[in-house]
Amino acid sequence: MTTTQQTPRPASAGVSAQPADGSAAGADRHAVEFRDVQIAYGKFVAVRDFSLSIAKGSFVTLLGPSGCGKTTILRSIAGLVDITSGQISIGGRRVDDVPIYKRNIGLVFQSYALFPHKTVFDNVAFGLKYRNVPRAEIARKVGQALEMVRLPGAEKKLPSQLSGGQQQRIALARAIVFEPEVLLLDEPLSALDANMREEMRVEIKKIQKATGITAIFVTHDQEEALSMSDRIVVMNAGSMEQIGTPQEVYDTPATAFVADFLGKANMLAGTVSAVDGAKATVALAAGQSVSVVSPRPLAQGAAVTVVVRPQKLSVAPGSGENRLSGRVVSTSYLGGSAIYEIDLGGKTIVRANNAITGRLAREGETVEVGFDPAGCVLLDDKGLRIA
């Protein structure tokens, strides 16, 4: 990645990143607030123009590919990374000059980072000890925290005697036991195997709900982001691409990057050939035409990209207004549903993910795929959503 890389700056409301209620007087409702934060290492700008308010008690995910700056942002909240300009507040208090050990944050690492020479009890009690909590109280709280992560009675074990999933539970208990103002989770599931990951996903979400703690979660896994978050911040190359609820970012991606990164979107390039009020006809590069509904009138001849989710693309005959004919390249049977890859001609292959109602289309078969004009998102020639 280079510093000169330009990311499309969406003009949509999402990027303003103001709280949903839009009020400015909500400072005490914000667990964490970024204002025009920039983080640079020498000439390399890791994060630019980052403004974000995170409501108390919410679960916010920073999602993006490797090197997009999401971990840097998380570490800047913790105080492990110094910001170059702008300001960060935790619970309404500016923390620019507050050292990490006075920030009152809970941090969970990808590699668990349990102290290998300390027992589970001493690990979990660590934060309480430095907050001068009386000894009896520490024992009670540690017991409670271990119960919460469903590992009661593990006090005397060493981290090395626990499995990866158990270690991460202990790490979680250690991070929440002293009731920090915000819980920061840096790809906490990446080191776990697939089964464990799913279990922990549910577990973390449950604990977050039960405690009401504000959680900021960093991941490159869109499934984790979609399933766990109240809001998702999609990051690319040091900038915020979109912020919204999982449904918002999935259904109405603000940029081509978001559409592509979250779920496998079909991106059909074309030009507007006819306009009729909100409706327009787009001649696809693949050779066929589709009609779409645009939030604002389109200019004839404008280049647009029609984004259709695989779930919105139906292979069943007679469904959807837009009919595109193609040949099935591959069929993956998944039990309840099937994923088709369909060649529309002109080197355009689309994916369709349908629940199986009737017969399964076979490879080589010619089929019609359809989608609703309202079931797609339109991007302009800069890759920004037309809204």
Partner 1 sequence: MTARTGDKEGRWAWRLTGFITVCVYIFMFAPIIATVVLSFNSSMFGGFPMTGFSLQWYVKLLGNEQVLAAFRTSLWIAVVTAIVTTAVGLVTAFALVRFDFRGKQILSTLVILPALVPETILGVGLLVLIKAVDQPRTLLILVLGHILLAVPYVVLIVQARMVGVRRVYEEAALSLGASRLASFREITLPLLLPAVIAGALLAFTISFDNTSASLFWRPAGVETMPTQILSMLKISISPEINALGTVMILVTVGIPLIGGLILQSLTRLKRRGEPKEETQ
Q: Which one among 106, 263, 326, 373 touches partner 1, defined by CB under 8 A?
A: 106
Alpha carbon separation from 340 to 72, 297, 318, 355, 359 (Å, rounded): 38, 33, 17, 11, 13
Q: Which one among 13, 16, 87, 116 touches partner 1, defined by CB under 8 A?
A: 116
Contacts with partner 1 in 335-374 (CB under 8 A)? none
For partner 1, which stretch binds (CB under 8 A), given 99-107, 296-304, 316-324, 330-338? 99-107
Residue 154 token pair? 């593990």
Residue 40 binds partner 1 (CB under 8 A): no
Q: Considering beta carbons, is residue 103 or 231 the nearer one to partner 1?
A: 103
Q: Considering beta carbons, is residue 168 or 348 the nearer one to partner 1?
A: 168
Q: How far is the CB of 116 from partner 1 (least distance, A)?
A: 6
Cα dihedral: 358, 359, 363, 366 (round 10): -80
Per DSSP, helices labelled H in the chain are 70-78, 120-129, 135-148, 164-176, 194-211, 222-228, 246-251, 256-261
Residue 78 binds partner 1 (CB under 8 A): yes
Distance CA(235)–CA(193), nearest Å, equals: 25
The answer to whether the beta carbons of residues 243 and 235 sit under 8 Å apart is no
Residue 43 binds partner 1 (CB under 8 A): no
Q: Which one among 131, 140, 209, 362 touches partner 1, defined by CB under 8 A?
A: 131
Q: Considering beta carbons, is residue 167 or 294 the nearer one to partner 1?
A: 167
Q: How far is the CB of 203 from partner 1 (least distance, A)?
A: 18
Q: How many CB atoms lie within 10 A of CB 85?
A: 12
Residue 18 binds partner 1 (CB under 8 A): no
Distance CA(161)–CA(197), nearest Å, equals: 20
Q: Following DSSP, what letter does each residue of 310-339 receive, concatenated? A: GGG-B-STT-SSEEEEEEEEEEEE-SSEEE
Residue 195 binds partner 1 (CB under 8 A): no
Q: Which one among 2, 4, 6, 160 touches partner 1, defined by CB under 8 A?
A: 160
Side chain identity, residue 25: A
Nearest to 186 by CA among 198, 176, 172, 174: 172
The answer to whether the beta carbons of residues 295 and 277 sit under 8 Å apart is no
CA–centroid distance for 208 within its chain = 17
DSSP 243: E
Q: What crossing angle do the helices spanning 135-148 and 164-176 adopt, rounded to 10°?
A: 130
CA–centroid distance for 234 within its chain = 6
Residue 239 binds partner 1 (CB under 8 A): no
Q: Considering beta carbons, is residue 3 or 163 the nearer one to partner 1?
A: 163
Q: Considering beta carbons, is residue 103 or 169 the nearer one to partner 1?
A: 103
For partner 1, which stretch binds (CB under 8 A), given 108-116, 259-267, 314-322, 339-347? 108-116
How many CA atoms lie less than 13 Å away from 130 in the CB half-sphere?
Answer: 13
Q: Which one among 12, 58, 71, 222 touches partner 1, defined by CB under 8 A?
A: 71
Q: Which one among 53, 58, 89, 167 touches partner 1, defined by CB under 8 A?
A: 167
- Binding footprint of partner 1, residue count (CB under 8 A): 42
Residue 158 binds partner 1 (CB under 8 A): yes
Q: How many CB atoms lie within 10 A of CB 238?
A: 26
Q: Which one among 105, 182, 282, 292 touches partner 1, defined by CB under 8 A?
A: 105
- Binding map of partner 1 across residues 169-188, x = CB under 8 A, - = no contact: -----xx--x--------x-
Residue 98 binds partner 1 (CB under 8 A): no
Positions in the binding site for partner 1 (CB under 8 A)? 66-67, 71, 78-80, 99-107, 109-117, 126-127, 130-131, 158-164, 167, 174-175, 178, 187, 190-191
